[in-house]
Chains A and B, each alone.
Chain A
């Protein structure tokens, strides 16, 4: 009975603890405006409360923690990917529309014709507002204090001037110390201090202010920007940017992440700039996955056949064959990368050659296949050995009695049977290699590629490494397009996997 009490108490403590942490997170998420995340957390809290404090469903008590993690970090991101693929979402189109309008307004300024600047001290005025004490001892010989609201001209006689003629103290102005300056540094650069209309002063560094005027004005009625100097209008182009009506190349930065629905998917098929590299990469992905499975299976089968008889040293051979599979694959790939080095690598050294493995597209592809063969043949050796033993020996004996040669027995009986047994594993291996990111990324980085032409797709890039490169690999991070390609890969891999699952009948074990 005592034990039961402790168990119950532990349960309540754990539940309370989880709810406390999640509530805290939900509240900070809400405070930061991350409403979706806050909502998800709130739902989790309710689910935990109901599941563990009532008797509504016993199975749910076993599933809930895993389910919540699954929803947050597996299913959620998949749906999020789907959502992101419908947006213009890339470097330069990363923020919301409102934020982008604010940024454009802030950046849409230009200096006056002479590029006038003042030496300034930053501080506070009498009323406690941020203020500048500006000096121009040489050209215009003016001194003034400027806040966001007021411009107060000063007589040089009232001021304390330093040896350069710059004002260092003035009545009604208190300069910041260096420490105070550092604390407010971020806010200061966005403040517009008063100057002769339509100009204003903006800080450039901690002791210089430039005279600027607003160039771009937002017209909220028409959702357009107008250039105040030329009168030119910029409109929403439907892809997350304001673009000049007269000149389509005149785009205002930054843009925002704008919903563009299926445009990315349409581009995948219709825009040659997107389609051509993608088709190239797709073809190589298929060839790569196919050749990998073929070579791994062939070598694994050969070894399994050779070991299919108790020959001398079989145990030692066997443990050596497993080693490549037991090694952490990341380490193996990096080691192979060094071995393929053109100048100093062991492969060129061994064969006394000077092949530029990673600079020549075809050699790079060969290297990828060779390394993957090394990594994967033990797997097929292991599964094929098992399958070979499961083939009843009566079959080959019967064939031998009928006068079949060893070769005939293998091609007509053993291999077809093996293929039938192993086809789900071959399909699974194909699906796995279809997305074998680590190998490509760590061995060749997808290269060689022609960087000078701005080419993103390299000769050994497979879809997944190409997608990663689009999302994170270049100066422009195109998360929207990358998500669209991810969705396509999802569909391909799901089809292959479902086919494999059907074949393996694995679902039937889950009645």
Chain B
């Protein structure tokens, strides 16, 4: 018994302390969301009254276009995810299977470019997209199309680790067999690689989705209209430093927005953790 205490008690003590630390903000946002007063001030850490008022407000109050934000987020993050996967997968295939000059240099450049956050070049992106707006107002500064294009700038570098690692794991013999049968590289790609990689491509798409969901500053700079915002920009603008107001609906909105992301994340844990050790850090 004393041995058990000596060996395990501190482990549980650490674990319980850290569990409290981890859960406190999450617990708080849950009880705030069902608190009918909608106030930031919590009079009791055990809810006395449960109400869906904040959630109803989110969907019915015309000043909070929450559903529109949600749709925008789905469209933007969804499109970026799909197109990035197409671009990333074909690049990974070429890097893994084709022989060409400058392969190593290309990979190194990609690696370096990928490490620079887009925000470093944000002044330039702003000016460039302002110029694009001059001749194409439908895809310049202030539009969702423009934002999507800017996100795609990083499409080739992001997740190239995961993808290339996967392509490398597909046995060479398959390619060679296809080649003997007279398949061109394009056919090998479409008929052998893509079907085999489909599950991994789905994972990469979901990771890209989470990444775009979490992107804030470019979205903030691009999406000025209330109606064109994503959830992240919308909720931030909604609470806008004034935590005492709008706290209840904000809590409700952040819970709804977070649940799908948390579920995706937990179900993809295995891949994310293997990606972690390859040196990428989640934003």
Residues of A that sit less than 8 Å from B by CB: 7, 25, 28-29, 31-32, 34, 37, 57-59, 61-63, 65-67, 69-70, 72-78, 80-81, 84, 299, 302-303, 306-307, 309, 311-313, 317, 319-332, 334-339, 341, 343-346, 349-350, 374, 377-379, 382-383, 386, 424-425, 428-429, 431-432, 435, 437-438, 441-442, 445, 464, 468, 471-472, 479, 482-483, 486, 489-490, 493-494, 497-498, 500-501, 504, 506-507, 510-511
Contact = CB atoms under 8 A, between A and B. Distances in A.
A81 B120 contact: yes
Nearest to A386: B277
Contacts, number: 298
Contacts of A312: 8
Contacts of B265: 325-326
B197 interface: no
Contacts of B116: 74, 78, 490, 493-494
A41 B21 CA distance: 52
Given A349-B41, A432-B281, 4 more contacts: A324-B22, A337-B243, A343-B41, A383-B273
Contacts of B10: 306
A328 B212 CA distance: 11
A72 B124 contact: no
Contacts of B12: 311, 313
Given A84-B124, A330-B216, A343 B11 contact: no
Contact of A81 (B25, B121, B156, B236): B121
Contact of A339 (B28, B98, B135, B278): B28
8 contacts: A34-B131, A69-B87, A302-B14, A306-B15, A330-B214, A334-B235, A382-B276, A486-B120
A15 B258 CA distance: 39
Contacts of B125: 73, 77
A76 B10 CA distance: 54
Interface string B1-43: 0000001101110110011011111101100000000011110
Given A70-B113, A320-B22, A483-B123, A346 B28 contact: yes
B155 interface: yes
Residue from A66, A325, A346, A386 having most chain B Cβ neighbours under 10 A: A66
Nearest 3 Cβ contacts at the A-B interface: A73-B153, A66-B156, A77-B121
B281 A306 contact: no
B52 interface: no
Interface stretch (B53-61, B103-111, B170-178): B103-111
A69 B153 contact: yes
Given A69-B152, A335-B25, A303 B261 contact: no
B91 A63 contact: yes
A350 B23 CA distance: 14
B267 to A, nearest CB: 10
A316 to B, nearest CB: 9
Contacts of A302: 14
A489 B14 CA distance: 38
Given A62-B90, A77-B128, A321-B19, A471 B282 contact: no
B123 A81 contact: yes
Given A80-B128, A334-B250, A428-B279, A468 B122 contact: yes
Q: Is the interface of A mostly helix, strand, loop or mixed?
A: helix
Contact of A383 (B14, B88, B243, B277): B277
Given A497-B112, A510-B104, A62 B127 contact: no
Q: Choose among A7, A73, A432, A441 the residue with the greatest number of B CB atoms under 10 Å from its CB.
A: A73
Interface string B114-153: 0111111111111110011011100000000000011011
A429 to B, nearest CB: 6
A482 B123 contact: yes
Contacts of A441: 216-217
Contacts of A81: 120-121, 123-124
B189 interface: yes
A31 B134 CA distance: 10
Most central of B28, B213, B280 by chain A CB within 10 Å: B28
B216 A374 contact: no
Contacts of B90: 62-63, 65-66
A305 B252 CA distance: 36
B279 A32 contact: no
Contacts of B11: 306-307, 309, 311
Given A306-B10, A306-B11, A471-B122, A323 B23 contact: yes
A464 B117 CA distance: 10
A67 B156 contact: yes
Nearest to A432: B281
B151 to A, nearest CB: 8
A65 B91 CA distance: 9
Given A341-B40, A438-B217, A472-B221, A29 B254 contact: no
Interface string B194-230: 0000000000000000100110110001000000000
Q: Which of B21, B25, B125, B131 has the most CB of A within 10 A?
A: B25
A424 B280 CA distance: 11
A80 B127 contact: yes
A411 B232 CA distance: 43
Contact of A303 (B18, B95, B269): B18
Given A69-B149, A69-B156, A344-B243, A425 B94 contact: no
A386 B270 CA distance: 12
B40 A317 contact: no
A312 B88 CA distance: 43
B79 interface: no
Contact of B119 (A70, A339, A374, A435): A435
Contacts of A58: 98, 184-186
A66 to B, nearest CB: 3
Contacts of A501: 111, 279
Contacts of B66: none
Contacts of B100: 57, 59
Nearest to A309: B11
B113 A493 contact: no
Nearest to B18: A303
A59 B98 contact: yes
A70 B157 contact: yes
A345 B243 contact: yes
B78 interface: no
B82 interface: no
A105 B214 CA distance: 48
B51 interface: no
Contact of A31 (B40, B135, B247): B135
Nearest to A498: B112
Nearest to A72: B153
Interface string B234-258: 0110010101100100110010011
A506 B243 CA distance: 44
A330 B73 CA distance: 14
Contacts of B123: 81, 84, 471, 479, 482-483, 486
Nearest to A61: B186
Nearest to A11: B186
A311 B8 contact: yes
A335 B30 CA distance: 11
A506 B104 contact: no
